[in-house]
Amino acid sequence: MTYCVAIKVDAGLVFCSDSRTNAGVDQVSTYSKMYHFNINNSRQLIITSAGNLATTQAVIARLRKDIKDGATPNLASVENLNEAADYVGEISVAIQEKHANNNTNVSFEASFLLGGQIDQETPGIVLIYPQGNHITTSAHTPYLQIGESKYGKPILDRILKPETGLDTASLCALVSMDSTMRSNLTVGPPIELMTCATDSFFMQHSVFDADNEYLRSLTKSWDKLIVEAFLQLPPVGYIPPQEG
């Protein structure tokens, strides 16, 4: 399994991904699931991936080859994020079908979060399903998730709004990742975080290893704060007086 989240706020974009891959519990490896395409410093695209590792690697290799070959379309030629998503979706479906033909017991499915800024277009993010279609965010749901998404969803719902700052959105992504890692063995460090301020065309990339001091301090603080918050709740059946 995998967990990746992408957030779109007015101030910019945040991407966060784990690095654990597994095929069974005794075949565990570490692979980055975050790919960065910087094209002439005028378009910055980030892709994070979940699902079959052979499929995702083949998709990324094909995307890089198409740019190099000047194929039509490629990530350097698409006019906007929507076209980019259609293009990545088509490649993903083609690669899945190639291998799926004679194999019904294995899933070759993969899903992707794609986002960034293309020229002067508004930055955005999309989720590309294994079937090749895609969705984007809304003001009410300014984030997208792939992989093991349930444990880390509540904090995103509580905190994120379009006007949330990039620092807060980054922190929220890390807390969401922390909750997921705590509850699911197949999601693990290093944790990658990528942020991009609107119109800056500059990506800030951080990697947090398992023994990263900040990540450990975040986990510990959040544990403590949640327990303290719980202890302040009204006891079962007690209705606190209305505040004036």
Residues 6 or more apart whose CB falls under 8 angstroms from that of 164 comprise 9, 11, 142, 172
Q: Which helix H or strand E contains 183, and what residues bound it? A: helix 166-183
Q: Tell me: does residue 232 bind a copy of itself (CB under 8 A).
A: yes
User: CA geometry: angle at 224 spanning 17 and 148, to 5°?
Assistant: 25
Q: Which is nearer to a copy of itself, 235 or 244 (CB)?
A: 235
Which of 59, 34, 38 shows the shortest CA–CA distance to 47?
Answer: 34
Choose which of 24, 70, 235, 244 interacts with a copy of itself (CB under 8 A): 235
Number of residues in contact with a copy of itself, rule: CB under 8 A? 41
Nearest distance, CB of residue 230 and a copy of itself, angstroms: 6
Torsion of CA 87, 100, 31, 3, to 10 degrees: 70
How far apart are CB 103 and a copy of itself at their closest, in Å?
22
Task: Tell me which stretch binds a copy of itself (CB under 8 A): 46-54, 61-69, 105-113, 174-182.
Answer: 174-182
Q: Judged by CB under 8 A, which of 125, 172, 181, 194 binds a copy of itself?
A: 172
Q: Which one, of 4, 48, 6, 12, lies nearest residue 167 by Cα?
A: 12
If one counts every other C-beta atom within 10 angstroms of the C-beta of residue 160, the result is 24
- Please select the residue that binds a copy of itself; options are 24, 70, 234, 244, rule is CB under 8 A: 234
- Asked if residue 153 binds a copy of itself (CB under 8 A), the reply is yes
Query: Residues in the site for a copy of itself, rule: CB under 8 A?
Result: 150-151, 153-155, 157-159, 167, 170-172, 174-175, 179, 182-183, 193, 206, 213-214, 217-218, 221-223, 225-230, 232-240
